[in-house]
């Protein structure tokens, strides 16, 4: 009951998802618009939230009706920020003093600019301290500080240690006038507390002066000769009347004539929590982990048009779902109290990118030939159940978390729930739609890209973009060869390339940059943000004839910094004419051109910029001031009262009176130089630091790269690394295998490339291009029998060996000279096996053979060298393919030669007195071979099936019922199945006429998975009869034939796989699911059937029901071979990848990238040992971990040859075939390691 | 809590003023040390690859695990120190990185050992770990582990039992989400037990101390942290060797 219900729910869900997928793929644009709109709507409340960051936040209130805010929040005042509660830490009252010696007299020295104005600070301070308003003094109101932090002993002399927090420049001299007067060098005193090097936070000078350092005017070359400083008072409580009376008093004492500062606003500044480096490091770490997670997740997106696009879409999905969740929570009144930046990575991890990836994978693995809409819908509905299940689980977990009743966790959970839901929404609408667009693009692009690559026959295209409703056109028939004119091909460049070409042609980028630069310079000059104009003006004024009288030598060079000003040069000059000017006159004029006037009287001006001078300070000014007294401003606020302006005018006489005796001896030039130098040095220091950091970073990255990726990525770089350590072959890991451990046994004897290889565990049969069959002992590697092509010869094993020695010595030179050019030409072509175009004759003689055969490497061992297919009449003529005949002639010629000079041809010991017999078919070549018991079944290109005795090398029986060439053979029990080139399938029965009792079994009965094959003795009469011939088993040539467990499975070019029963040769199933020709099939005793096709897909089938178990899209290009173990499927493809899949779920476990062109052969030795062929080597891999266990090199001469076939024998031996040699590798040591 | 914050805040502030030059110099030293270690590791790696492929793989794996362990230990320790959960003697806590230099090294070694033990155990038991073997899920696992640490340091719970129970549930969830193997559970438990024992001994001998110990000398959530750490490190150690180089995985 429960299961039924669950099933129903499942069906409903998947149906709903299916409909949804259809919807999304049908109307992508409206849905994306809708989603974007909803994202924006949900994010709208975020605008009200303060931006994250640690900068202070301000809030301004009026002074008049100010009252200390209460602790309780008042709901009605919505514009009031939530931190504006309770009293502030302190009220800051600044008294801004601007002082100048006026009128300026040329008898004054530069020090006079600030000595006497600074000296006046003490009287103002006195005034402030002594101010009393209705028995309330400053002492009662001000913020009492107790002690400096213990670590700040250095500051002890400067900052007030107890009592009122009242800071002013007077603190430099402990607020004592006598110390000030006795100080010979004020600047030195001021600067001695400045930190060396670079500083960003508030310095002591900033703290005491209360204005940015540049504006104080306390230097020797100040232009304006106005000294500005503040006296900062921190009040603990606000008494409006006291402050007002203080303001009135100061104004009365020191009236500022033209001051129009506004005094009605009070600014409250709220400070966030400071983030130190200690808190930053964990944060940064979590973000690094987050990015690694995103990287590793999105890297798995595969088989789509634009990987980056989809990865971006996935990230956008997650991020905007988070934003939506925050926005929604804010909308419903849940203000986030958690530090958003801290929990954000965890939220992303909880929400995860998994669903997105699963969706992509599911959609991608749907059949490619379906319509896009249907693919999306199918993919969605396939994964619907797991998506829903995962989501429900996550929601449950979060709900459990919600009931921990810890406020922080609850809040996190709330956010996570909303985030999950919105993420689901976005996945369903946004990501699915993006995916559908991508898949559609890929379909179009794929057609463009793939077809020219496939034997060069792109179909005539109707237009660049066809309407998306029409299904993609069927693959062009492989028989038609239509080569496109190159001009026509060039017309259809990809859009991206066209854009690039367009850019390159018009040099658009450079022009845009140029125009942009010009505009930028123009704007710069026009708006003059950097004081360029004043700088130029200063330069001009410098070169004016005014300073020619006694210029100090250092001013001869044009100053680089605008700081070097004419005023300093004027100090030593006699004043031309002191021009005292009334204060309130010509102020604007003077202010505009202060530099033009040769001697300017300092003007004290008050502008709106003076209202809030504290804004120009570092935002850490106040926190650092308070932190000296162990008062934190984090998450608290201070209130800054309107500034009190104080203007001080001092007469020159006063300035002269306050001079220190050393002031006049003060030489200004060095100070200018050093200060210039100082700024210079800072700049250089920063640059050097940056450079150093960059270099260190690059080195670090390089080291990391070396550690993590010590291998060369590109395959091109592989060969040069292989020959580094002398002659010893070593693999790309730099590892040379110990020679003694695994030594491959070389089986030599064939003169041509080996085409077919068959084994039954004890014997090993190989057949080369010429058609010679050799039988070897699979244990020892001895050559037992040689069946030459040109007759029924057999040779004893001893003869074989004998010959081998001779052949080795006399060697190839003779062979080459004998066999000559016609030997080599077809031979070379056949070795390549790929290039159809070289052989016009082949195409002529086999019109039925599709051109597509050419690009399937694994077919070449089965089907090749069809030059023998030419009519027998041409066989002995000079067609160039009949080297069987040639070889025969060579024998005849060499007949009288001494016995040692053996003929170099492959059939070694050929008693010359025996005339060639004609019952062997030596006109045609062997296309397929199988070995069972001691019978070798060979299928020839002429359609003849022959049965040979493996031990004696005699022909036992042959069948010539078929005419079409046999492309594949399967030999199981006493049945032989032959697939022919015309697509028909013949079933033969081998009958032995002898009593059953004599039928002996060879080998241990339980050995291996194969049933023990009967051994046929030489006395028996063996006949081979055609029991059934299935004409037109496939529409197109059969490419693969495999038999096991009483089933025969065929795969064909016509995209189908058929399953036959062996006993009655009845077709059980026709399996459809591939969208390309079948290239690889695997079936074993346990009825596991897997097939791979040209479209790169791998299907796993249930042989009993004929249903498809799983379907994965694995390779870019053909699947070249397939092997299964009990837990996984191993596939290799034309893309040189070996992929390992989980058999039950179809999930790719990992993949191994191989060198180019050697990834075709595969074998599984045991459950966890995989062997692959490479360039002259075989590699062993641990399947569980994907580790390379060992690489075995097959021989010094075999470097260039790649292993073409690989056969795993029962006794843990591997036979592989490279070129004309076989190699037998025993792997006992590896097996021991695994057992 | 506000008291703690205050302290931290002012502490970091004053430290930044005082030890600015000092810490930058140390930073450089630290960097060079890192570089040196990387270079030596490259050399040792090269030597190892000369020696044998298997041991090279082992060394690479161990190296990655060691680095992960050191970095995690540094970061998480910092997290604990700044929340005043663990107290180190004043003279040890001079700067951020010289504080208890032996902790990251120990953690790195432990991570390497545990991480290499996991695949060995898998192989021994004959049940290769197949569940969620991608780097994406491994990074996810690391993130959750850091999250658990973060929670242990930053969350304000009503009482310690609640905190410990929550963290225990979280670490069990971590195991269930990312591991689900018997060997992982067993080894995680063993790691937790041994590491807690060592921590107890260390605290007993006065090497360092916890502000408010509630489980003999240490915090009661410490085993949970060690358990999830073991599982995390095991997850890294179980990655297929070929993908460890980031080369063979597409």
* Of B14, B39, B140, Cβ closest to residue A703: B39
pLDDT at A445: 66
From residue A330, how far is each of A319, A325, B210 by CA, in Å?
17, 8, 38
A contact test, residue of B3, B4, B10 with most A CBs within 10 A: B10
Strands, DSSP E only, in A641-750?
A: 644-650, 745-747
In the prediction, which pLDDT does B193 show? 92
Nearest chain A Cα distance for residue B111, angstroms: 18
Do the chains contact at A282 and B71, CB–CB below 8 Å?
no
ipTM value for the complex? 0.71
Cα gap B50→A724, rounded to integer Å: 13
Are B250 and A1137 an interchain contact pair (Cβ–Cβ within 8 Å)? yes
Interatomic CA distance for residues A207 and A624, integer angstroms: 9
Structure tokens at A1074: 């591939």
Residue A979: phi and psi, rounded to 5, are -100, 135
Q: Which of A279, A296, A1189 sits opposite B139 (nearest CB)?
A: A296
Q: Would you call A7 helix, strand, or coil by DSSP? A: helix
Residues of chain A contacting B50 with CB distance shorter than 8 Å: 734-735
State the pLDDT at residue A540.
Answer: 47
Residues of chain A with pLDDT under 50: 198, 200, 450-492, 529-530, 532, 540-598, 667-675, 710-740, 791-921, 996-1014, 1230-1235
Neighbours of A347 (CB within 10 A): 23
- Cα–Cα distance for residue pair B4/B83, rounded to 1 Å: 7
Please report which helix (H) or strand (E) contains residue A444, including its range.
Answer: helix A432-453
Nearest C-alpha neighbor of A225 from the set A236, A213, A216, A238: A216
Q: Output the pLDDT for position A503.
A: 63
Side-chain-side CA neighbours of B226 within 13 Å: the count stands at: 23
Answer yes or no: do B14 and A404 touch at CB < 8 A. no
CB contact under 8 A, B240 and A703: no
Distance CA A1139, CA A1123 (A): 11
Q: Model's pTM, two decimal places?
A: 0.49
* C-alpha triplet A308, A309, A314: angle, nearest 5°: 95
Q: Which residue has the tokens 């990251």?
A: B104
Cα three-residue angle A630-A631-A636, rounded to 5 degrees: 155
The residues with which A97 forms a beta bridge, in sequence order, are A229, A646
Q: Tokens standing for A563?
A: 């700081």
Instruction: Please tell me whether residue A1015 adopts helix, strand or coil conformation.
Output: strand
**Residue A1044: strand pairing partners:** A1047
Q: Which residues contact A681 (CB under 8 A, 6 or more apart)?
A: none
8 Å CB contact of A286 and B143: yes
Residues of A in contact with B132 (CB under 8 A): none
pLDDT of residue A45: 76
Query: C-alpha distances in angstroms, A1171 versus A432, A1138, A1146, A1167, A1227?
Result: 40, 11, 22, 11, 10
By three-state DSSP, how is residue A130 classified?
coil
Q: How far apart are CA A306 and CA A1036, in angstroms?
A: 35
Gap between the Cα atoms of A723 and A731, Å rounded: 9
Spatial separation of the C-alpha atoms in residues A1171 and A1188, rounded to whole Å: 10
Determine the residue of chain A that is closest to B76 in CA distance: A282
The count of other CB atoms within 10 Å of the CB of residue A297 is 24
DSSP class of residue A427 equals: I
Q: What is the pLDDT along chain B (250 residues), one digit of tens a residue?
A: 333 333 333 333 333 333 333 344 455 555 666 666 666 666 665 555 545 666 777 888 888 889 888 888 888 877 777 665 555 554 444 444 445 677 788 888 989 998 888 888 887 887 766 666 678 888 888 888 888 888 887 776 777 787 888 888 888 888 888 888 888 888 899 999 999 998 888 888 877 777 777 777 788 888 898 999 999 988 888 876 544 443 333 2
Burial string for A838-875 (b: 16+ CB within 10 Å, else e) reads: ebebbeebbeebbbbbbbbbbbbbbbbbbbbbbeeeeb
Give dist(CA A280, CA A274) in Å, integer: 10
Q: Closest Cα of chain A to B230: distance in Å?
A: 18
Kindly report the nearest CA distance between residue B87 and chain A, in angstroms. 15
8 A C-beta contact, residue A1156 and residue A1202: no
**Ranges assigned E (strand) in A7-161:** 57-62, 91-101, 132-133, 136-137, 144-145
- Edge-to-edge strand order for the sheet containing A745-747? A745-747, A1221-1226, A1213-1218, A1205-1208
Length of chain B measured in residues: 250
> Rounded distance, CA A884 to CA A747, Å?
22
pLDDT of residue A138: 81
> What is the pLDDT, as a whole number, of residue B227?
92
**What are the residues whose beta carbons fall under 8 Å from the beta carbon of A1064, sequence distance 6 or more?**
none
Q: Do B9 and A634 touch (CB under 8 A)?
A: yes
Please state, as a whole number, how many other Cβ atoms lie within 10 Å of the Cβ of residue A1051.
27
Cβ contact (<8 Å) for A297 and B162? no
The tokens describing A363, both together, are 């959609």
Say if CB B238 and CB B118 are below 8 A apart: yes
A942: tokens are 């002429």
Q: Which residues of A touch B136 (CB under 8 A)?
A: 293, 296-297, 299-300, 353, 357
- Cis peptide upstream of residue B87 (ω within 30 degrees of 0): no
Q: What is the 3-state secondary structure (H, E, C) of chain B?
A: CHHHHHHHHHHHHHHHHHCHHHHHHHHHHHHHHHHHHHHHHHHHHHHHHHHCHHHHHHHHHHHHHHHHHHHHHHHHHHHHHHCCCEECCCCCCCCCCCCCCHHHHHHHHHHHHHHHHHHHHHHHHCCCCCCCCCHHHHHHHHHHHHHHHHHHHHCCCCCHHHHHHHHHHHHHHHHHHHCCCHHHHHHHHHHHHHHHHHHHHHHHCCCCEECCCCECCECCCHHHHHHHHHHHHHHHHCCCHHHHCCCCCC
Report H helices in A454-559. 486-491, 495-506, 508-527, 532-543
Q: How far apart are CA A825 and CA A937, in angstroms?
A: 29
Q: Using CA of residue A1075, residue A1081, residue A1082, residue A1088, what is the dihedral sign? A: positive
Using a CB-CB distance cutoff of 8 angstroms, which residues of chain A are in contact with residue B246? 708-709
Q: Do A710 and B31 touch (CB under 8 A)?
A: no
């Amino acid at each position: 009951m429960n299961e039924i219900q669950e099933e129903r729910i499942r069906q409903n869900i998947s149906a709903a998802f299916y409909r949804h997928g259809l919807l999304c793929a049908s109307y992508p644009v409206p849905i994306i618009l809708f989603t974007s709109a909803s994202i924006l709507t949900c994010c709208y409340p975020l605008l009200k939230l303060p931006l994250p960051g640690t900068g202070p936040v301000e809030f301004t209130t009026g002074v008049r009706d100010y009252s200390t805010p209460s602790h309780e929040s008042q709901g009605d005042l919505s514009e009031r920020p939530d931190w504006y509660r309770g009293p502030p830490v302190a009220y800051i009252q600044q008294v801004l003093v601007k002082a100048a010696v006026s009128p300026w007299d040329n008898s004054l020295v530069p020090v006079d600019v600030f000595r006497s104005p600074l000296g006046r600070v003490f009287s103002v301070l006195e005034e402030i301290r002594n101010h009393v308003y209705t028995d309330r003094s400053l002492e009662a109101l001000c913020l009492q500080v107790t002690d400096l932090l213990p670590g700040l002993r250095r500051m002890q002399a400067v900052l007030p240690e107890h009592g009122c927090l009242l800071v002013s420049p007077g603190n430099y001299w402990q607020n004592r006038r006598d110390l000030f007067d006795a100080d010979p060098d004020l600047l030195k005193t001021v600067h001695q507390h400045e930190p060396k090097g670079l500083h960003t936070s508030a310095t002591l000078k900033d703290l005491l002066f209360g204005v940015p350092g540049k504006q104080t005017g306390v230097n020797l070359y100040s232009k304006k000769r106005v000294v500005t400083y503040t006296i900062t008072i921190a009040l603990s409580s606000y008494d409006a009347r006291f402050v007002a009376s203080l303001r009135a008093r100061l104004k009365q004492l020191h009236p500022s004539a033209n001051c129009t500062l506004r005094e009605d606003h009070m600014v409250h500044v709220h400070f966030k929590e400071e983030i130190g480096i200690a808190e930053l490091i964990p944060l940064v770490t979590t973000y690094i982990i987050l990015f690694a997670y995103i990287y590793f997740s999105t890297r798995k997106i595969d088989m789509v048009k634009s990987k980056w696009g989809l990865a971006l879409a996935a990230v956008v999905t997650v991020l905007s779902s988070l934003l939506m969740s925050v926005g929604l929570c804010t909308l419903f009144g849940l203000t986030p109290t958690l530090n958003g930046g801290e929990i954000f990575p965890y939220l992303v991890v909880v929400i995860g990118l998994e669903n997105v990836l699963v969706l992509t994978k599911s959609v991608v693995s749907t059949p490619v030939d379906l319509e896009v809409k249907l693919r999306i819908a199918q993919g969605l509905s396939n994964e619907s159940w797991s998506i829903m299940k995962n989501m429900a689980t996550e929601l449950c977990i979060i709900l459990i978390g919600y009931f921990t009743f810890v406020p922080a966790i609850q809040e996190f959970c709330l956010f996570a729930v909303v985030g999950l839901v919105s993420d689901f929404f976005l996945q369903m609408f946004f990501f699915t739609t993006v995916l559908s667009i991508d898949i559609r693009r890929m379909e179009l692009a794929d057609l463009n890209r793939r077809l020219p690559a496939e034997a060069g026959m792109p179909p005539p295209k109707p237009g660049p973009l066809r309407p998306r409703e029409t299904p993609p056109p069927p693959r062009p028939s492989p028989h038609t060869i239509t080569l496109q004119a190159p001009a026509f091909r060039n017309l259809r460049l990809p859009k991206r390339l066209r854009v690039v070409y367009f850019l390159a042609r018009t040099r658009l980028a450079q022009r845009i940059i140029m125009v942009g630069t010009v505009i930028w310079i123009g704007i710069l000059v026009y708006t003059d943000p950097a004081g360029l104009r004043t700088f130029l003006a200063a330069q001009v004024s410098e070169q004016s004839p005014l300073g020619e009288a006694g210029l100090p030598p250092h001013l001869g060079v044009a100053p680089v910094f605008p700081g070097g000003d004419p005023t300093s040069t004027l100090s030593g000059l006699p004043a031309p004419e002191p021009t005292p000017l009334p204060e309130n006159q010509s102020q604007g004029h003077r202010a505009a051109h202060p530099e033009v006037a040769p001697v300017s009287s300092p003007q004290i001006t008050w502008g709106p910029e003076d209202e809030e001078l504290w804004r120009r300070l570092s935002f850490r000014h106040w926190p650092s001031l308070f932190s000296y007294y162990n008062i934190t401003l984090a998450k608290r606020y201070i209130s800054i009262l309107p500034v009190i302006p104080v203007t001080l005018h001092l007469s020159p006489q006063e300035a002269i009176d306050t001079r220190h005796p050393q002031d006049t001896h003060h030489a200004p030039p060095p100070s200018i130089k050093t200060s210039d130098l100082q700024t210079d040095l800072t700049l250089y220091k920063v640059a050097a630091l940056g450079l150093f950091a960059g270099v260190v970073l690059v080195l670090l990255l390089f080291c990391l790269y070396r550690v993590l990726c010590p291998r060369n990525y590109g395959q091109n770089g592989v060969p040069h690394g292989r020959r580094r350590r002398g002659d010893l072959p070593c693999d790309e890991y730099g590892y040379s295998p110990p020679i003694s451990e695994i030594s491959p046994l070389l089986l030599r004897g064939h003169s041509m490339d080996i085409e077919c290889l068959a084994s039954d565990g004890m014997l090993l049969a190989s057949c080369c291009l010429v058609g010679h069959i050799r039988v070897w002992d699979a244990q020892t590697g001895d050559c037992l029998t040689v069946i030459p092509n040109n007759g029924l010869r057999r040779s004893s094993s001893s003869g074989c060996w004998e010959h081998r020695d001779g052949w080795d010595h006399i060697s190839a030179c003779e062979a080459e000279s004998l066999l000559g050019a016609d030997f080599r030409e077809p031979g070379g072509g056949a070795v390549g096996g790929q290039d159809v175009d070289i052989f016009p004759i082949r195409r002529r003689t086999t019109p039925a053979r599709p051109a597509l055969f050419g690009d399937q490497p694994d077919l070449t061992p089965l089907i090749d060298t069809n030059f023998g297919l030419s009519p027998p009449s041409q066989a002995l003529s000079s067609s160039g393919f009949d080297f069987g005949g040639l070889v025969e002639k060579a024998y005849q010629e060499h007949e009288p030669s001494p016995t040692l000079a053996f003929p170099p041809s492959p059939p070694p010991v050929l008693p010359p007195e025996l005339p060639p017999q004609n019952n062997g078919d030596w006109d045609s070549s062997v296309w397929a071979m199988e070995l069972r018991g001691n019978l070798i079944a060979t299928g020839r290109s002429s359609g003849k099936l022959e049965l040979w005795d493996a031990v004696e090398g005699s022909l036992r029986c042959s069948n010539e019922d078929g005419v079409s060439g046999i492309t594949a053979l399967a030999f199981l029990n006493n049945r032989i199945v032959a697939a022919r080139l015309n697509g028909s399938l013949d079933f033969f029965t081998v009958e032995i006429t002898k009593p059953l009792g004599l039928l002996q079994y060879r080998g241990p009965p339980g050995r291996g998975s194969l049933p023990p094959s009967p051994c046929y003795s030489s006395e028996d009469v063996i006949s081979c009869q055609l029991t059934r011939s299935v004409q037109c088993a496939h529409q197109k040539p059969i490419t693969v034939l495999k038999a096991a467990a009483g089933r025969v499975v065929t795969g064909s070019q016509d995209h189908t796989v058929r399953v036959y029963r062996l006993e009655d040769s009845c077709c059980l199933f026709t399996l459809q699911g591939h969208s390309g020709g079948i290239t690889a099939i695997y079936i074993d005793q346990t009825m596991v059937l897997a097939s791979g096709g040209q479209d790169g897909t791998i299907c796993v089938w249930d042989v009993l029901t004929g249903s498809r178990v799983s379907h994965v899209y694995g390779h870019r290009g053909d699947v070249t071979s397939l092997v299964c173990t009990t837990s996984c499927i191993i596939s290799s493809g034309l893309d040189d990848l070996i992929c390992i899949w989980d058999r039950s779920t179809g999930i790719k476990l990992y993949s191994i990238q191989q060198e180019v062109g050697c990834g075709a052969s595969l074998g599984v030795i045991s459950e966890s040992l995989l062997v692959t062929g490479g360039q002259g080597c075989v590699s062993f891999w641990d399947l569980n971990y994907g580790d390379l266990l060992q690489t075995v090199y097959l021989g010094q001469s075999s470097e260039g040859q790649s292993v073409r076939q690989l056969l795993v024998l029962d006794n843990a031996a591997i036979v592989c075939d490279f070129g004309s040699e076989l190699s037998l590798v025993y792997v006992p040591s590896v097996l021991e390691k695994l057992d | 809590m506000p008291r703690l914050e205050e302290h931290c805040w002012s502490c970091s502030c004053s430290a930044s003023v005082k030890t600015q030059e000092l810490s930058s110099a140390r930073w450089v030293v630290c960097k060079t040390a890192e570089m040196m270690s990387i270079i030596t590791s490259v050399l040792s790696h090269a030597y190892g690859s000369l020696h044998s492929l298997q041991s090279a793989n082992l060394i690479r794996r161990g190296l990655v695990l060691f680095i992960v362990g050191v970095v995690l230990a540094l970061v998480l320790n910092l997290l604990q120190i700044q929340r005043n959960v663990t107290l180190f003697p004043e003279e040890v806590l001079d700067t951020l990185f010289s504080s208890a230099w032996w902790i990251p090294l120990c953690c790195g070694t432990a991570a390497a050992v545990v991480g290499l033990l996991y695949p060995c155990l898998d192989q021994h038991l004959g049940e290769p770990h197949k569940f969620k073997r991608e780097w994406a899920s491994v990074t996810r696992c690391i993130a959750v582990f850091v999250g658990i640490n973060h929670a242990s340091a930053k969350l304000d719970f009503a009482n310690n039992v609640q905190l410990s129970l929550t963290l225990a549930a979280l670490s069990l969830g971590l195991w269930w989400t990312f591991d689900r193997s018997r060997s992982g559970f067993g080894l995680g438990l063993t790691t937790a037990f041994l590491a807690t024992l060592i921590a107890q001994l260390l605290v007993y001998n006065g090497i360092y101390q916890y502000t408010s110990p509630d489980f003999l000398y240490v915090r009661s959530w410490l085993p949970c942290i060690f358990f999830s750490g073991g599982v995390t490190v095991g997850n890294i150690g179980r990655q297929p060797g070929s993908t460890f180089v980031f080369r063979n995985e597409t």
